[in-house]
Chain A
Amino acid sequence: MLTGIGVTIGQLFCASALAIVIALIFGLMRLSSNKIILSVATIYIEFFRGTSLLIQLYWIYYVLPLLINLNLDAFNAGFIALGLNFGAYGAEIVRGSIQAVPRAQWEAGRALNMSPYLQMRRIIIPQTFSHLLPPASNLLVELLKATALVSLISVTDLMFMSKVFNQTYWMSLQVFGTALIIYYILARFFLTPFLRWLEVLAARKMGKTLG
């Protein structure tokens, strides 16, 4: 079961890294004034938000090898599907938090003759964190829960190990009960406090105090 926890955390880690990259790219693309870039991002986001994660998972794991001969092992297919899916949700959060920065901040950046890149990096992005982090941490807890789905394409994560143990020992109460409690502990006592700490840190950097 311990190796299962390790794999679950590994999935969480790889998937969230991929999701953050995708969220940033597509979130910024959604703000583009270029029609083509905008519609590509919109289609991507609507597609991944509109279909079910489980279907995406099956599709990447079972269909891609048939279609374009791209063979992924279960672990990679798992975190790629999770990352692509949650990246789409994250992109909307990124877009929302950037739009929440007052327009005057952009204008001030321009008035100081900053390049668009510098404006983004020094003025806009730091201000998004306070808007970004609360929904992002909800999403990460969702991601942790979603990692249970990768057991269905036989990634040996916590859920998969529980099913194996259940079939070996026939003690479903103990096995699934333990799994539930482990997920609960991971979310409630590790992930949530860590994200909360990040929020406080970001607020302090901005010179605000969180209630």
Chain B
Amino acid sequence: MAWRWDFAFEILPQLLWGAVYTLMAAGIGYLLAVFIGLIFMMGQRTPSYVLNRITREVVEFFRSTPLLVQLFFVFYVAPQFGIKFSAWNAAMLTMGLHYGTYLSEVYRGAIEAVPKQQWEACKALNLSIFRTYGRIILPQALPVALPGMGNYLVGIIKDTPMLATIGVVELMQSANTVGSLTYRFLEPYTMVGVIFLIISLPTAFGLRKLESMVSRRQGISKQ
């Protein structure tokens, strides 16, 4: 089977629409994950031992089971308990939770990287907990957390094709549709691969630029 350019151009608009939805899914999922990650991180930093252990185990559980199985679980099991999700909502919820647990680990590592003396200095200056986090700790933790956060942003973009399995119409699903209508799989799947390269390589590059910009702002130079 040879590559047909006319066919490739014919299906391009449909695939590009799919790509828009892919980006949207990744964007919303990532925003959710950023907040859910904060919650999980705080859960692991509370003084209560029981709460600590529980959050820790929940995080471990989400991190060591496949996203695909979680997707199926949310999409097919929740209706049994009377909670009906549309495919899109189920996908966003699962993605947010899954990547939230990953991000919570990133946050945790970054906050632990802030020297202990900084906390003590805040206490000595009698700063409130909000000012301690907002003005002292988080700004210092941000440059440490950024590379990890960036990696997961690229990761979430690349995991969106999985959403096609529960029927979310995004790039992969558009390619499947085109393929099953026309019996041509060569062009759609190859083009999806290329579109992903076009999305993820510049994203990774942009993130590296952002990292160095933030470090420079803080007066920390990288080499």
Contacts and interface: CB of A to CB of B under 8 A. Distances in A.
B162 A51 contact: no
Nearest to B98: A145
A180 B80 contact: no
A144 B64 CA distance: 9
B186 A141 contact: no
Contacts of B60: 188
A51 B69 contact: no
A122 to B, nearest CB: 30
A32 interface: no
A172 to B, nearest CB: 4
Nearest to B1: A66
Contact of A183 (B64, B77, B172, B179): B64
A44 B172 CA distance: 22
B186 A55 contact: no
Interface residues of B, number: 35
Contacts of A59: 189-190, 193
A112 interface: no
B79 to A, nearest CB: 8
Given A52-B159, A152-B165, A162-B72, A62 B64 contact: no
A176 to B, nearest CB: 4
A192 B61 CA distance: 13
Contacts of B201: 46, 50
A131 interface: no
B72 A176 contact: yes
B162 A176 contact: no
Contact of B65 (A52, A62, A163, A183): A183
A58 interface: yes
Contact of A50 (B69, B179, B197): B197
B158 A52 contact: yes
A70 to B, nearest CB: 13
A46 to B, nearest CB: 7
A52 B69 contact: no
B21 interface: no
Nearest to A192: B64
Nearest to A54: B161
B76 interface: yes
A36 interface: no
B190 A145 contact: no
Contact of A187 (B65, B73, B77, B193): B65
B185 interface: yes
A148 B69 contact: yes
Interface of A: 46-47, 49-56, 58-59, 62-63, 66-67, 141, 144-149, 151-152, 159, 162-163, 166, 172-173, 176-177, 179-180, 183-184, 187-188, 192
The list of the 10 closest CB pairs from A to B, nearest first, reads A187-B64, A148-B66, A172-B76, A145-B66, A54-B161, A52-B158, A66-B1, A176-B73, A148-B68, A183-B65
28 contacts: A47-B197, A50-B201, A51-B158, A52-B159, A55-B172, A55-B196, A59-B189, A59-B193, A62-B185, A63-B185, A66-B1, A141-B63, A145-B65, A145-B66, A145-B67, A146-B66, A147-B66, A148-B66, A149-B68, A152-B68, A166-B72, A172-B77, A177-B73, A179-B69, A183-B66, A183-B69, A184-B64, A188-B60
Given A55-B193, A146-B66, A183-B65, 7 more contacts: A47-B197, A62-B189, A148-B68, A149-B162, A166-B76, A172-B77, A180-B69
